[in-house]
Structure 1
Amino acid sequence: MSEFIFIGNKISVYALRDYIMRHRIDAGDSLVLNPHDFETIIQEMKNSPEGLHDFPVKLLEVLIAKDTTDTIPIGKLQIVKNEKPYL
């Protein structure tokens, strides 16, 4: 069963960046957000001085994705680890 994580703050670009750095989320991993929270992040990025560069949306090389299964509650996220092939 997947774990949904409350990051302790309202979900925002700043809160996601802080969470990624504090918890050392690896580049290539994904943070999956409720569609409402995802749209909030998109609007926040569009309104920022840097703007929204392109899709897919990434923060510190971590993919920010929208939940397409409608299972993640508003205000929480799910971490999906990148499957790294064995060399």
Structure 2
Amino acid sequence: MAGTHTDADPYRLTAADSTPGTASPAVSRGDVARTLLWILLVISVVANTVASIGGADLWVHLACGVVTALCAGTLAVRGLRGRR
């Protein structure tokens, strides 16, 4: 029905188990950091792939590799610490 308002917004970034009418927790800093790390990881991998296909200089490959390694390592450490 057009014009009706419901609390079940599928695009809201809140916890899935929150009930309507109660204050729902906001997205945590950890969630934002994890998302940004994944985005940066994908960008660096794609950039390294494009650099390989395009025949870029060695420093481009090294820079992309360092960013990829830092992101992957940080995500791995955060994942292992989150299990404790």
Q: TM-score, normalised by structure 1?
A: 0.28
Greater per-residue strand proportion: 1
Q: Return the TM-score normalized by structure 2.
A: 0.28
* Structure (1/2) with the larger helix percentage: 2
